[in-house]
Amino acid sequence: MNAALHAINELAALVHGGALLTFALLVNGRRAIPHVRTEDVVRVYRAFGAGIGLSLGAFVPTDIYRHLHAVNPTASLPASLALQFDTPELSLLSARMVLLFALWVSYVWLEVWTLEPTRKLDKNGSVADGAAYEAATGRVGRHLAVNAALFAGVVLCGALSRSWP
Tell me if 83 is assigned to some domain: yes
What is residue 120's predicted lDDT score, i.e. its pLDDT? 92
Residue 78 has a pLDDT of 58
- Per-residue pLDDT, 1: 55
Residue 77: predicted pLDDT = 60
Compute the distance between CA of residue 144 and CA of residue 25 in angstroms, rounded to an integer: 9
Q: 50 lies in a domain?
A: yes
How would DSSP label each residue in 83-100? Answer: ---SSHHHHHHHHHHHHH
Let me know: does 94 contact 105? Beta carbons within 8 Å.
no
Instruction: Please check whether residue 82 lies inside any domain of the structure.
Output: yes
Residue 154 lies in a domain: yes
Give the model's pLDDT for residue 82: 76
Q: What pTM was computed for the model? A: 0.90
The radius of gyration of the chain's CA atoms, rounded to the nearest angstrom, is 18
The segments of the chain whose pLDDT lies below 50 read: none
The domain in which residue 36 lies consists of: 2-160
- pLDDT tens digits for range 75-99: 666 566 778 888 888 899 899 999 9
DSSP string, 9-56: HHHHHHHHHHHHHHHHHHHHTGGGSTT--HHHHHHHHHHTHHHHHHHH
Q: How many domains does the chain have?
A: 1
pLDDT of the residue at 113:
94
The pLDDT assigned to 161 comes to 86
57 domain-assigned? yes
> Sign of torsion, CA 95 158 1 4?
positive
Residue 165 domain-assigned (yes or no)? no
Average pLDDT, rounded, for the chain: 90
Asked whether the beta carbons of 94 and 84 are under 8 A apart, the reply is yes
